[in-house]
């Protein structure tokens, strides 16, 4: 009987090990699948800008892919972000200076419509200011700090990513690299 009980114990242990190996294998496969799909959609220099749809302060639905055809600044910002407040006037200045040569999509960091509208009015912003409820687009673009700007060419390819305060000279240089002002 002792021999029989040891056999059952080994059988039970073996079954448990097989079950755990199966669970681990499934977890690895799911992790690789999720990781690869998240990676495929995340932004990369010289890769396509991930598409999204957000509501503008004007109440219209804005889809990034429908704004292609000319260069674009995709700016992620917040009203409480001091560097964002400092760089917004330069973005507005160049938007006016090169009217029609490029697009600006300013994606706010999950703040209320009232806060964002007040900020846009105070700054005199005339480009598209977008609301990002739940910060889903922020997450899609892996935003880790504000401001973060992506400079996207007319074909939707990310050519530059700038994290932090952007000087006016940097802004002018990035726009020139996309053919704006030439």
- Per-residue pLDDT band at 182 (split at 50, 70, 90): confident
DSSP string of 101-136, one letter each residue: T-EEEEEE-S--HHHHHHHHHHHT--SEEEE-GGGH
DSSP state of 88: H
Whole-angstrom Cα distance, residue 52 to residue 54?
Answer: 7
* 144: Cα within 13 Å, side-chain hemisphere: 4
Residues 148-167 have pLDDT tens digits of 999 999 999 999 999 999 99
Q: Which range among 29-43, 131-145, 160-174 shows the weakest confidence by mean pLDDT?
A: 29-43
- Per-residue pLDDT band at 3 (split at 50, 70, 90): low
Residues 33-63 have pLDDT tens digits of 333 333 445 688 999 999 999 999 999 999 9
Q: What is the SS3 assignment for 56? A: strand
Predicted TM-score (pTM) of this structure: 0.77
């Amino acid at each position: 009987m002792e021999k029989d009980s040891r056999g059952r114990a080994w059988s039970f242990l073996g079954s448990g090990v097989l079950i755990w190996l199966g669970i681990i294998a499934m977890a690895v496969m799911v992790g690789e699948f999720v990781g690869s799909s998240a990676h495929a959609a995340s932004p990369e220099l010289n890769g396509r800008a991930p598409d999204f749809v957000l509501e503008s302060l004007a109440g219209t639905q804005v889809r990034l892919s429908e704004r292609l055809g000319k260069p674009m600044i995709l700016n992620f910002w917040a009203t409480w972000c001091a560097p964002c407040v400092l760089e917004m006037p330069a973005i507005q200045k160049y938007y006016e200076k090169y009217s029609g040569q490029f697009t600006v999509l300013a994606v706010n960091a999950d703040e209320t419509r009232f806060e964002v509208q007040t900020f846009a009015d105070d700054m005199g912003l005339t480009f598209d200011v977008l609301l990002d409820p739940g910060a889903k687009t922020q997450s899609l673009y892996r935003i880790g700090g504000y401001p973060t700007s992506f400079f996207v060419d007319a074909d939707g390819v990310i050519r530059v990513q700038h994290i932090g305060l952007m000087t006016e000279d940097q802004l002018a240089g990035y726009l020139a690299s996309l053919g704006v002002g030439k």
